[in-house]
Every structure is written in C-alpha cells, then in structure tokens.
Copies of this chain bind each other. A is one copy, B any other.
Amino acid sequence: MVCMTRRTDALSRERIVEATIEILDTAGESALTLRALTAHLSTGRGALYHHVATKDDLLAAASDGVIGRVLAEVGGHEDPAYAIRALALGIFTAIDGHPWVGSQLARDPGQPAVLQIWTSVGSQLTRLGVTGRARSDAGSALVNYVLGAAAQHAAGARRAPDQAARQEYLQALATKWAGEDPDAAELLRDHDDRAQFLAGVDIFLAGVSALRKPAGSG
C-alpha cells in the first residue's frame, strides 16, 4: 500500500549489509558484533532485526555480495580454461582482500555464494567439453580446492596479518620441514601464495585433460 521506504537514508537491508562489510574489512571477523553494528549505524537492535533474520544471514548476504561481484566481473573469457583460471584467481583475490569471506564460504555449502561458485565452475567445465559424471567430479574437485585454499589463506591472513608475522610463520614451517627436505624449506622462504594457488588450478586442469583423453569411448 504505502511506499516501501519512507526515507532514502533510512535503515535498509542493503545499508546494513554494506556496514557489515565495512566492519569486517576494517576490523576483522571478531569485531563484527550486533552491538558494533548498531553503533556504526546509530540505531538499535530491534531495527536491525526488522531487516535481517540472524547474524548468519547477514554474513551470508555479505559474502554473497562480494562473491557475486567477482563472478560477474570474470565471466567473459572465450577460452574456458582461461575462464576457469580467471574465476579461481578472482575468488582468491577477493578473499585476499576480505579474509572473512574465506571463513564464511567454508561454513555452509548451501549458501548463495557457494552455489554461485558451483554453477560458474560447472558452466565453464561444460564449455571445456567435460560432461556427465566427469563434470560433477571435476566440478567438485575444483570447487573444493578453491574453497579449501581460500579458507586456509584466510585463516593464515587472520593469524599473521602483517608481513613480519607471516615471515615468522613461514620460518617455523621451514624449520619443521628442513630435516625432511631442505629443498622444500628453501622454496618456502620466497613463497608466493597467489602463484601457488594458480599452480594448483593448473594441476587440476591438467588432470581433467589427462583423464579425458584415455577414456575416449563413452
């Protein structure tokens, strides 16, 4: 009956999600409190709960927004293998910038953001000529790899936010590995998460291609 919003600057789900992302980005997951959110929006809790069901709902909406933006950006490449690399790298970059998304994606396989990733990967695999069970197997492998790497990278970023702490962490790991394989310890020292992540995508793509060729007959 009435117009849906009384004032353009009034509280809305969109504004709440926006503020949520801002808090998460600037102060981290642990700082996202409904109290902090109400303070940030200069409002009360009842108002929040008129637009949002629960805190989890809010987190899902926030990560859905970020992932949705990424998937929309990287959708337009002709070569499907290249598109898959771009898709994976886009997700990685997004989680590098917003570590909380990585944790959130690992939390619930039914949330919209994860479904978006599934369908994007699935359609690129179809374009790659993979179908049937091979496609669902490959899709599962790639999605799980991307989400796993995302969660680990995000957790690492949470644990070692600055470069010094990260160096310490890598050093400790290198020491642990040194006895077993000095070469690996050396590589760990000038280690690039992004390059390693892409190398993993390439291993996956090579595997899909290798398994497709020998099984020629339907």
Contact = CB atoms under 8 A, between A and B. Distances in A.
A156 B140 CA distance: 14
A208 interface: yes
A187 B148 contact: no
A103 B108 CA distance: 10
Contact of A109 (B122, B137, B155): B155
Given A149-B144, A196-B137, A122 B184 contact: yes
Nearest to A139: B184
The prevalent SS among residues of A at the interface is helix
A122 B200 contact: no
A59 to B, nearest CB: 13
Interface string A155-185: 1100100000000010001001100110110
Stoichiometry, as copies per complex, reads: 2
A211 B200 contact: no
B184 A136 contact: yes
Interface in A132-152: 132-133, 135-138, 140-141, 143-152
Interface string A80-100: 000000000000000000000
Contact of A147 (B123, B126, B148, B169): B148
Contact of A159 (B108, B136, B176): B108
Given A149-B144, A196-B137, A177 B122 contact: yes
Contacts of A114: 152
Interface of A: 103, 106-110, 114-115, 119, 122-123, 126, 131-133, 135-138, 140-141, 143-152, 155-156, 159, 169, 173, 176-177, 180-181, 183-184, 187-188, 191, 196-197, 199-200, 202-211
23 contacts: A103-B106, A103-B107, A106-B148, A109-B152, A110-B159, A115-B176, A119-B176, A119-B177, A123-B180, A131-B181, A135-B181, A136-B184, A136-B188, A136-B191, A137-B199, A140-B197, A141-B203, A141-B204, A143-B148, A144-B152, A147-B152, A148-B149, A206-B206
